[in-house]
Amino acid sequence: MTDSATDPSADSAAAPSCPAPLWQPVLLAALAGGMGWGIRGQYGHETGAMIAGLLVSLVLVFLLCPHVSLLPAARAVAFGTIAMGFGGSMTYGQTVGLTQDPALIGNWEALRWGMLGLAIKGGIWIGFAGLFLGMGLGGVRYRWREILLLMLGLLGLYALGLWAWNRPFDPPNRILPPVYFSADWRWQPTAELKPRPECWGGLLFAFAGAWLWTGLVRRDRLARSLALWGILGGLGFPLGQSLQAYHAWNPELFKTGIWTQLGPAMNWWNWMETTFGAFMGACLGLGLWLSRRRIGPLGDSAEMPLKPGLEWLLLGVHLPLLVLTEFASIRAVDAFYDLGLVLGLIPIVAVAGGRWWPFLLVLPVTALPIAGKTVRNLVYESHALGPGPGWLLYGALPLALTVVAAIWSARQVDRKLSGREFARRALLLATWLYFGLNYAFFRFPWPWEKWTPRTPNSIVFAICALGLTIACLAVARRRAWGAQSA
């Protein structure tokens, strides 16, 4: 594989003209991002955000990389999926509160400060996803040792940024960082507040370091460019929150007309998330389409540094830690593995160097915490199902499907399955898998039954899922028709 870090002319060896018109990656990535981020609202944190990273990355590889080989395609999707989880470590509930809490309604300074905080956090969050997706698609081969050193360096920068921007933090003595975007006595001097520690400064330093390294040292122009488009996509956070804040600031406008019927069924928080996801997906789609000539030659590499035994060993280390972090409360594990950069370290190193890991990450590893949280909610929290049917339908079946799909896909690496076809099939599976799990989490809010606060969002998610499905099937049909004509 050509390495553009040592061959500056590689960027001029542009990929063949892309068959997808501009509107396709913009619209379909918006559908994927809106549904994925809206679904994330039920599952939260780093692993929930990976749903949106997965769906958007699959859409963009499917549409804009028609000649990519199978393994590089899976690796690029996995990079984008993992990196979308990094920002999940940031707290933002209290930042949203600055723009809509009842005590702050009418405080324009608090509103502007909260929106600024959301823009910064959103830019860092999506910037990471754009950067690593670009690293997977730019034609630069990142070896696993490089990725390991990069991630360790990012952890060092994270600690430095945490110290520089997010310290001191001593709520009992009302000592907060000078630049702080959560509950602050600055806005409510006499209130009893419980400020939360922020980490956006640490992630900002880490993101800046990764951006400089990929752009200046490895000369990966696509990664550098797509990271900036990701920062732009992060503006979807304050954009989505502006809808929710407008509702909170102007409740009288939602008590007349159609709102008398629709208002009680509106989950404004989920609409904020869905809007954010749609905007960030559209920005990444637009950015990659405009930078499509920087998509590198993505053929198979003969180098496979990680042997299968080591890959499975890394999987055996990561999965127990992932499960403990998501479903248990063990201080020794949470202290280090609850941070997105640490949670993603083993997976991203293994994806960079492995043959099995890219497919395992895209399919069962990403699905595991989502299926587990669905089972936990339906079986143990709401008691909507018994353990037997709950575990079978929402635990065992999704994981069995994704494991089989991952193993089958990995076995096609030296055969005829293209990266684009893998992305198309994986997109169909992931779309309906996460839509189905979320629909069960929502208690099946059928639109012909009495509407609940989950019904409108479910209708939008269904439209997104149908749109992605139609796109996948239409492309397959067009290719079959072209083959017959030839």
Q: Which domain holds residue 261?
A: 8-485
Count the domains in the chain: 1
Q: Is the pLDDT of residue 2 over 50?
A: no
Cis peptide before 347 (omega within 30 of 0): no
Contact 13, 2 (CB under 8 A): yes
Q: Return d(Cα 265, Cα 201) in angstroms, integer.
A: 37
Mean pLDDT, range 36-42, rounded to an integer: 95
Q: Is the pLDDT of residue 9 over 80?
A: no
Q: What integer pLDDT is reported at residue 10 of this predicted model? A: 39
Q: pLDDT tier at 3 (50, 70, 90 boundaries)?
A: very low
Residue reference for tokens 């190193």: 349
Quote the tokens at residue 484: 């017959």
Q: What's the distance, CA 439 to chain centroid? A: 19
CB atoms closer than 10 angstroms to residue 249: 14
Q: What integer pLDDT is reported at residue 481 of this predicted model? A: 52
Tell me whether residue 3 is in a domain: no
Q: Is the pLDDT of residue 409 over 70?
A: yes
Q: What is the Cβ-side half-sphere exposure of residue 60, based on CA atoms within 13 angstroms?
A: 37
Q: Specify the pTM.
A: 0.93
Q: Is the pLDDT of residue 273 over 70?
A: yes
Q: What integer pLDDT is reported at residue 202 of this predicted model? A: 98
Tell me whether residue 35 is in a domain: yes
Q: What integer pLDDT is reported at residue 300 of this predicted model? A: 60
Tell me whether residue 419 is in a domain: yes
DSSP string of 4-60, one letter each residue: TTT-GGGGGSPPPPPSS-THHHHHHHHHHHHHHHHHHHHH-HHHHHHHHHHHHHHHH
Percentage of residues in the chain having pLDDT higher than 90 = 84
Nearest partner of 265 among 42, 75, 445, judged by Cα:
445
Tell me whether residue 439 is in a domain: yes
Tell me whether residue 465 is in a domain: yes
The predicted-structure confidence for 312-367, as pLDDT tens digits, reads as follows 999 999 999 999 999 988 888 888 898 999 999 999 999 999 999 999 999 999 99
Q: What integer pLDDT is reported at residue 477 of this predicted model? A: 63
Least confident residue range of 157-166, 298-307, 384-393, 425-434: 298-307
Tell me whether residue 2 is in a domain: no
Tell me whether residue 1 is in a domain: no
Q: Is the pLDDT of residue 484 over 50?
A: no
Q: Is the pLDDT of residue 307 over 90?
A: no
The predicted-structure confidence for 423-452, as pLDDT tens digits, reads as follows 999 999 999 999 999 999 999 999 999 999
Q: For the chain, how far is it from start to end, CA to CA, in angstroms?
A: 30
Quote the tokens at residue 78: 């996995």
Mean pLDDT, range 385-410, rounded to an integer: 96
The predicted-structure confidence for 86-140, as pLDDT tens digits, reads as follows 999 999 999 999 999 999 999 999 999 999 999 999 999 999 999 999 999 998 9
Q: DSSP state, 170?
A: B
Percentage of residues in the chain having pLDDT higher than 70 = 93
Torsion of CA 59, 144, 224, 77, to 10 degrees: 0
Residue 201's alpha-carbon distances to 10, 83, 86, 126, 204, in angstroms, are: 35, 17, 13, 15, 5
Tell me whether residue 352 is in a domain: yes
The angle at the Cα of 459, spanning 476 to 83, to the nearest 5 degrees, equals 65
